[in-house]
Chain A
C-alpha cells in the first residue's frame, strides 16, 4: 500500500523532487536553454546559418562573430544554434521510435509467457552488438538519410526500452489488480493498455532521457563518420566532421558544436539520473 501511494505522490511531485537535487537543476537549466535556443533559433541567430562570406572566412571568435566563422565565412554561432534544432529533433524522434518498438516488444515478451523466450533472445542478440556498429550496419543497409538514421538508431536503442518494459511487465502481470481485472472478464488488450501500459510510464521515461542523450551522441558519431545525415545539413556531428580539416588553424569550428554536444548530453544524463532516483520505488524516499 505504501508503495502505491508513494509512487503516486512521486509522479505528482516530479518537478518538486527534481528541484531539490542540485545536479538535476543544473541539467534542467542547461537543457531548457538548449531547447529554447533550438525552438527560437530564427530569432536568436545573429546571421542566417547558410550565409556565405568569403572575405571573413576562418576568423577566430570576435565580437562580430562570437564563435568565429568557418571555411566559407559562415557564422559558427548561428550554425551551432541551427544545427541544434536538427540534432535535438533527431534525438527526440529516436526516443519516440525506440519507445514504440521497445514498449511493444517488451510488453509482449513480459505478458505472454510463450513469446518471452524468442523475443528475449532477439533483444539479447541485438544488445550484444556495439551500438554504433549496429547503427552503421543498419544505415548502410537502409541508405544514408536523416529518416534512416532515426530509424536505425531507434532500432539500436529499442532493446534497452524493451528490457526494462519486460521486467516491469513481469511484475505488473502478477499484481492483484491485473488478476482481478482478468477475473472480471476484461479482455487482454484492454488489460495491456489500461492496466499494464499506464504503469510503465516511469521506467520508459527514465530510459527515454538516457536514450535521448545517447542518440544525440550517436547521430554526431554517425555524421562524423560520414554515414549519418547528408553533410550539407548542419548538425553538430556534420559541423565537427567538416571542421576537422581545419582543426589546427580554426579549431573553433569544431569546438563549439562539440561543447554543445557535451552540454546537452550531460544535462540529459543528469536529468535521467535524477528521474531514475525519483521514480524507482525501491529508492524512493519520503521527501
Chain B
C-alpha cells in the first residue's frame, strides 16, 4: 500500500515556497515489513519557515524522534523511509529531497546545513576527548584552519554558549562538567558548523528545571542572533510555550494539529491537544485561592500500538468526543484558520 504512494509523490517537482527552509511532505517511516510493520511515522506533513522555531510535541512513541532522524538520514535498517518527501533548501538555494539522498550526499547536509543535538548530554560527548578537541574537530571538518585559530574559535564558541572560564574549560573532559555544561558544549559543537537548521531532540529533558530554563533561553537567543531555524522535539508543553513560534502536535505517527504557538495554547482545536494542555500542571489553574487542589486531568487509556492502529482516528479510543464516524475512517487534516490545521471531524462538538 505504501509503495504506491512513493511514485506519485516523487512525480511532483521539488519546489519549495520562498521562505520555507524545510518541508516534510507525507513522510512515512516504517520499521519491519509485512503485517508486523511498525508505522512509526505515517504521513507527516509540516513546513519549517526560515528563521523560525517549530516545536514537535507528542507522547513517547508518537514518532517525533523518528521524524527528526528521518530528516537527518539516520534511519537504519530495519527502518526505512517508505514514502513522502523531505524537501530542503540548502545555502545555495538548491532544493533537494532528503528522503532520496545518498549517504555520500548527506555528508554535505549534516553539519553545515542541518545539525542535531540529542537528549543525553551525559553520553553525547566522547569521554576520552576534551570538550575543546571535540568542538575543534567539528570546525576542522569543514575548513582548513591553523591550530591557533582553531583554539581561538573553540574558546569563542564556548563563550557564545556561556560557559564560564571558557579558556580553561576547553581542556576539560566531559566528566568534569555538569549536565547543563555538557549540553552547552553539545550546542557549541552543533554551532561549530554554523547550520541553517538545528534539530534539538528533547535537549532539556535530562536537566534540572532551573538549568532547563537557562538552556532554553540560550537556544532562543542563539536562534534569533544567528537567524537559524530550529526544529524542537519535546513532550513538554511548558518548553514549547517558552521557545516555539509554531507547534506541530503528533499522535501515533501522524500530525493531529499544527498552529502558531499562541493559537495552539489559546484556541486548541484537536481534542488530543486540549487533553494534553489539560494534563499539564498549571499552579494558577490547579490550586484555588483557599488552597484546595484540583486533581490533574489524565488522558484515559494508552497510545495505540503502532503495529496495530485502529482503522479510524488513532485517538478515537481515548477521545471524549469520538463518534461512530471517527472509528470508521481516519480524518483528513482540515484548515481551521489560516496557518492552523487539525485532523478532527468533531472539532465543533466541543
Contacts and interface: CB of A to CB of B under 8 A. Distances in A.
A185 B115 contact: yes
A4 B127 contact: yes
10 contacts: A4-B174, A8-B175, A176-B120, A176-B123, A180-B186, A185-B110, A186-B137, A186-B141, A194-B126, A194-B137
Interface string B81-120: 0000000000000000000000000011111100111101
- Interface majority SS (helix, strand, loop, mixed), chain A: helix
A1 B175 contact: yes
A187 B107 contact: yes
A180 B124 contact: yes
Interface string B329-347: 0000000000000000000
A185 B186 contact: no
A175 interface: yes
Most buried by A among B77, B124, B142: B124
Contacts of A7: 127
B216 interface: no
A94 to B, nearest CB: 27
Contact of A176 (B74, B124, B173, B199): B124
B22 to A, nearest CB: 15
B72 interface: yes
B174 to A, nearest CB: 7
B123 A183 contact: no
B316 interface: no
A194 B137 CA distance: 10
A2 B162 CA distance: 26
A180 B123 CA distance: 9
Interface in B175-212: 175, 186, 189-190, 193, 199
B116 A183 contact: yes
Interface of B: 72, 74, 76-77, 107-112, 115-118, 120, 122-129, 137-138, 141-142, 173-175, 186, 189-190, 193, 199
Interface in A144-189: 175-177, 179-187
Contacts of B122: 1
B118 A183 contact: yes
Nearest to B182: A1
Given A176-B123, A176-B124, A179-B74, A198 B118 contact: no
Given A194-B129, A199-B128, A182 B120 contact: no
B190 A184 contact: yes
Nearest to B77: A113
Contacts of A113: 76-77
B141 A190 contact: yes
Nearest to A198: B128
Contacts of A190: 137, 141
A113 B77 CA distance: 10
A5 B333 CA distance: 49
Contacts of A181: 126
A179 B118 contact: yes
B234 to A, nearest CB: 17
Contact of A184 (B126, B127, B129, B189): B189
A232 B316 CA distance: 87
B183 to A, nearest CB: 11
B193 A185 contact: yes
Contact of A182 (B110, B128, B129, B137): B110
Interface in A105-144: 113
Nearest to A113: B77
A177 B182 CA distance: 12
A1 B117 CA distance: 18
Contacts of A180: 116-118, 124-125, 186, 189
Nearest to A5: B175
A195 interface: yes
A119 B129 CA distance: 30
Interface in A186-209: 186-187, 190, 194-195, 198-199
A227 B107 CA distance: 51
B193 A182 contact: no
Contact of B107 (A175, A177, A185, A199): A185
Contacts of A1: 122-123, 175
A264 B104 CA distance: 50
A187 B103 CA distance: 10
Given A7-B127, A177-B126, A195-B126, A183 B115 contact: yes
A7 B127 CA distance: 9
A182 B189 CA distance: 12
Nearest to B121: A176
A194 B173 CA distance: 15
B129 A198 contact: yes
A259 B193 CA distance: 61
Contact of B72 (A183, A187, A195): A183
B202 to A, nearest CB: 12
Given A185-B112, A190-B141, 18 more contacts: A4-B123, A5-B175, A8-B127, A8-B128, A8-B173, A8-B175, A113-B77, A176-B118, A176-B124, A177-B124, A180-B189, A182-B74, A183-B115, A183-B116, A184-B193, A185-B142, A198-B128, A199-B128
